[in-house]
Amino acid sequence: MPTTDGSSPAAASVLAVLGVGVVAADSPVLRADDAAATRGDGCFEGCRLRRGPDGANAVDKLDAHLARMTRSADALAIPFDERAWRRLIAEAAAAWNSPDEAAVKLLLSRGTPTSGPTGFVLITPLSAESRRLRATGLKVITLARGLESGAFADAPWLLGGVKTLSYAVNMAAFREAERRGADDVVFLSSDGLVLEAPTASVVWSVGRTLFTTPTGATGILGGTTQQLLFERAATAGWTTAERLVTLDELQAADVIWLVSSVRGPVDVVELDGKPRTRHPDLDSEIRRLCGF
């Protein structure tokens, strides 16, 4: 029975542990000396799960997520057995018994000194907040990230482009946004350029050109949904480009979206206190291209 916001009643979460299989979702599964907990030393992916027309649950763009997780694990020098993970993901997805879309977290840790790497797949209902923000659009503030836009060149130990578990600053940025009455954040480099959101890519349009910020020396994480969007947009008549821009240049865009795998692309309705006109036709087109 749908609830007032259109979703089904919250489904039970599903947890599947690497080397073990599906266990009760509230089971304690990590030891106190697991490097995920003690050092944020591991990597993850956040994905979207949907029930397909054939009735089977499937993870959106799973190949792209596993490719990025392989790169993250390589950068961290943590073994990653993609075949074992595909089996674990399939097992977890089969155990998700709700028709509603869900969030899937893949988490790989360096583990413990005696056990080696640990990992799990956790499937949880889409949050009510994600559902709400898709509808309202995002009030966004910019925050300094303290790093120059070229800080990650020739410095692989800074883990640029690696989706590590060390997200304390990203979470603190969200709390700062909440404190200021905003929903999300765009980070700026110390040289005043637009980087990324704490858990999303920044995409903007000017006419029929879609822009995003470049990976590489910026340390920005390449977004799987942003990449899918740009591939599909290119075949739908859009020009696409990567660009380092100032906040003023970003403000001059027609539409700005924060794009992530679970929440999808959501348009920015206010940036640093300045209201932005919504463009429902453009927004619908971009959401559809992203599969939302």
Region 125-144 residues binding a copy of itself, contact defined as CB under 8 A: 143-144
Residue 67 touches a copy of itself, criterion: CB under 8 A:
no
Residue 15 touches a copy of itself, criterion: CB under 8 A:
yes
How far apart, in Å, are the Cα atoms of 9 and each of 94, 97, 127, 129, 264?
19, 12, 12, 15, 21
One of 19, 39, 94, 252 touching a copy of itself (CB under 8 A) = 39
Count the site residues for a copy of itself by CB under 8 A. Answer: 61
Nearest to 92 by CA among 81, 101, 105, 82: 105
One of 47, 59, 64, 124 touching a copy of itself (CB under 8 A) = 124
Sheet with 14-17: strands ordered across? 21-23, 14-17, 116-125, 102-112, 42-51, 57-59
In this chain, which stretch among 90-98, 106-114, 238-246, 272-280 interacts with a copy of itself, using CB under 8 A? 106-114
Helix axes 62-76, 82-95, angle to 10 degrees: 130
Instruction: Give the three-class secondary structure for 200.
Output: strand
In this chain, which stretch among 82-90, 169-177, 244-252, 274-282 interacts with a copy of itself, using CB under 8 A? 169-177
How far apart, in Å, are the Cα atoms of 19 and each of 28, 43, 104, 131, 211?
15, 18, 18, 33, 41
Residue 122 touches a copy of itself, criterion: CB under 8 A:
yes
How far apart, in Å, are the Cα atoms of 289 and each of 215, 224, 226, 229, 285?
22, 13, 10, 6, 6
One of 25, 95, 206, 247 touching a copy of itself (CB under 8 A) = 25
Residue 102 touches a copy of itself, criterion: CB under 8 A:
no
Farthest-apart Cα atoms in the chain, separation: 56
Residue 31 touches a copy of itself, criterion: CB under 8 A:
yes
Q: Kindly tell me which of 39 and 288 has the beta carbon lying closer to a copy of itself.
A: 39
Residue 251 touches a copy of itself, criterion: CB under 8 A:
no
Nearest to 271 by CA among 138, 178, 176, 181: 138
Instruction: Give the three-class secondary structure for 144.
Output: strand
One of 11, 12, 22, 30 touching a copy of itself (CB under 8 A) = 30
Q: Kindly tell me which of 136 and 190 has the beta carbon lying closer to a copy of itself.
A: 190
- Interface with a copy of itself (CB under 8 A): 13, 15, 17, 25-42, 44, 75-77, 105, 107, 109-110, 114, 120, 122, 124, 143-148, 151-152, 155-159, 162, 164-173, 175-176, 190, 219
